[in-house]
Amino acid sequence: MSTQNQKVAIVTGASQGIGAGVVEAYRKLGYGVVATSRTIAPADDADIVTVQGDIADPATAERVVAAAIERFGRIDTLVNNAGVFVAKPFTDYTADDYAAVLGINMTGFFRITQLAIGHMLTQGGGHIVNVTTSLVDNADARVPSALASLTKGGLQSATKSLAIEYATRGIRANAVSPGTIKTPMHPEETHMGLAALHPVGRMGEVSDIVDAVVFLENAPFVTGEILHVDGGMSAGH
Ligand SMILES: NC(=O)c1ccc[n+]([C@@H]2O[C@H](COP(=O)([O-])OP(=O)(O)OC[C@H]3O[C@@H](n4cnc5c(N)ncnc54)[C@H](OP(=O)(O)O)[C@@H]3O)[C@@H](O)[C@H]2O)c1
């Protein structure tokens, strides 16, 4: 049963992959969770509220935050995890690719983060976690993906900016920057090739990213951190 003292996390892109793992982890930490994506199903767990919607639409952010306040009365953590990845040579990107990637990865971060921080300021603290990609800091000729770098790079910069803007008001902002992770984003037949992109010679598991989010959650002196969880990609090739 939830109480006003129960902490609360919002997780976007929560229907599968990393987001679904993050939802499970916050429940294990005892948090009430508001989980959102376009197709997310209602949960059996009474302490998980699900809200369907396109995160590129600011109206979804309004509904998700309203659901958190209505059901739990507070917001302690927002994990901006919803994202898409379109890898193409730069000149092959279409206007639709641009609109989709910018809409989900960046616009999808903006309104929900504004609203969540508004509540965190009233409560006296909170935590924003953005899920980015190691490609931002480690461009790879084998994976041309400038739109990923444009959007997730923006999120990484905004992570630091928010960390500094709110440092004295109890709100932390961090990012987890993954290598390639085994989720439905990557069909099984691509795994061998993707594993070879990492110095450690394997893809990451959802649990690798979830563990990093949980670490950041439990690290009150860490803010503005871009935590690379990428099998060594950020160290070199
Ligand atoms: N997997 C990797 O290798 C990898 C590497 C680096 C970074 N990342 C980042 O990690 C995050 C999670 O990736 P993942 O691998 O878990 O992806 P995934 O398995 O493809 O899941 C993506 C999630 O985002 C949701 N989503 C997609 N479009 C949406 C929209 N328009 N509005 C609302 N929700 C939407 C999906 O749910 P619905 O379909 O129900 O909307 C799903 O829950 C993303 O930000 C991704 O960029 C992943």
In whole angstroms, what is the distance from residue 39 CA to residue 30 CA? 25
Please report the atom of ligand 1 found closest to the CA of residue 178: 6
149 lines ligand 1 (CB under 6 A): no
- 237 residues of the chain, pLDDT tens digit each: 455 689 999 999 999 999 999 999 999 999 999 999 999 999 999 999 999 999 999 999 999 999 999 999 999 999 999 999 999 999 999 999 999 999 999 999 999 999 999 999 999 999 999 999 999 999 999 999 999 999 999 999 999 999 999 999 999 999 999 999 999 999 999 999 999 999 999 999 999 999 999 999 999 999 999 999 999 999 998
Mutate to test the pocket of ligand 1, among 181, 205, 209 (most ligand atoms within 8 A of CB): 181
Backbone angles phi, psi at 51, to 5 degrees: -130, 120
pLDDT of 74 reads: 98
d(CA 33, CA 13): 13
| 18 Cβ inside 6 Å of ligand 1 | yes
- Which residues is 17 bridged to in the sheet? none
Q: What is the pLDDT of residue 5?
A: 83
83 CA distance to ligand 1 middle (Å): 4
Length of the chain measured in residues: 237
Residue 208, phi then psi, degrees to nearest 5:
-60, -40
CA 85 – CA 103 distance, rounded (Å): 12
Domains, in order of start, for the chain: 8-235 (3.40.50.720)
Q: Is the CB of 184 under 6 A from ligand 1?
A: yes
Burial 114-150 (b: 16+ CB within 10 A, else e): ebbbebbeeeeebbbbbbbbbbbbbeeeeebbbbbbe
Q: How far is the CA of 169 from the centre of ligand 1 (A)?
A: 30
SS3 49: strand
Give yes or no for a contact between 29 and 214, defined as CB atoms under 8 angstroms apart.
yes
State residue 8 phi and psi, 5-degree precision: -135, 130
Contact (Cβ atoms closer than 8 angstroms) between residue 22 and residue 81: yes
Atom of ligand 1 nearest to the CA of 17: 16
pTM of the model: 0.98
Q: How far apart are alpha carbons 153 and 165 in whole angstroms?
A: 18
89 token code pair: 């040579």
Amino acid 4: pLDDT: 64
Distance, in Å, from the CA atom of 110 to the CA atom of 94, rounded to the nearest integer, reads 23
Nearest CA to ligand 1 atom 23: 13
> Among 40, 51, 59, 111, which Cα is nearest to 80's?
111
